[in-house]
């Protein structure tokens, strides 16, 4: 949680929202659907920071560290939500129309992002796969 205080403002905002979501969870302030919506909002903020700091420019080592930190926290929170949703028999109908499958797919997407940016594959191998599979140059990361 202390990373939020020393980071670039976009990453700091992501960390502060994740920290607030954790405080809300620990205080049992809101129900499962509100926790799920808050998680999706944190992901939206994270994706904005990711685009600005990782895709539109060459990420610094500090950007890579912040990205990995918040990404892993979002994955862990998503896994916790999946466990709680399963245990409670699913999400109730809600105005946001969020379903269990939405949470599940988003966790999978976050895991794919983690593998892309922070996996052990070499840059040369990534470039080779992008060129062979998609016939394009790889994105940065």
Pairwise CA distance, residues 54 & 52, whole Å: 6
Query: Alpha carbon of 132 to those of 7, 120, 125, 129, 141: distances in Å?
Result: 37, 19, 10, 5, 18
Check residue 1 and give its pLDDT: 44
**pLDDT one-digit tens code per residue, 9-67:** 999 999 999 999 999 988 988 889 999 999 999 999 999 999 999 999 999 999 999 99
Domain ranges of the chain: 3-134
Structure tokens at 75: 């994955």
What is the model's pTM? 0.81
Share of the chain above pLDDT 90, in %: 70
- The predicted structure's pLDDT at residue 140: 64
Residue pLDDT, tens place only, 79-119: 999 999 999 999 999 999 999 999 999 999 999 999 989 98
């Amino acid at each position: 949680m202390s990373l939020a205080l020393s980071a670039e403002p976009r990453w700091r905002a992501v960390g502060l929202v994740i920290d607030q979501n954790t405080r809300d969870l620990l205080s049992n302030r809101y129900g499962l659907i509100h926790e799920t919506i808050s998680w999706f909002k944190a992901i939206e903020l994270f994706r904005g920071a990711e685009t600005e700091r990782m895709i539109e420019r060459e990420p610094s080592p500090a950007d890579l560290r912040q990205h990995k930190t918040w990404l892993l926290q979002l994955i862990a929170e998503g896994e916790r939500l999946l466990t709680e949703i399963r245990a409670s028999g699913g999400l109730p109908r809600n105005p946001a129309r969020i379903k269990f499958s939405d949470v599940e797919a988003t966790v999978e997407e976050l895991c794919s992002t983690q593998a892309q940016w922070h996996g052990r594959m070499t840059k040369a191998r990534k470039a080779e796969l992008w060129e062979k599979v998609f016939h394009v140059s790889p994105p940065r990361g």
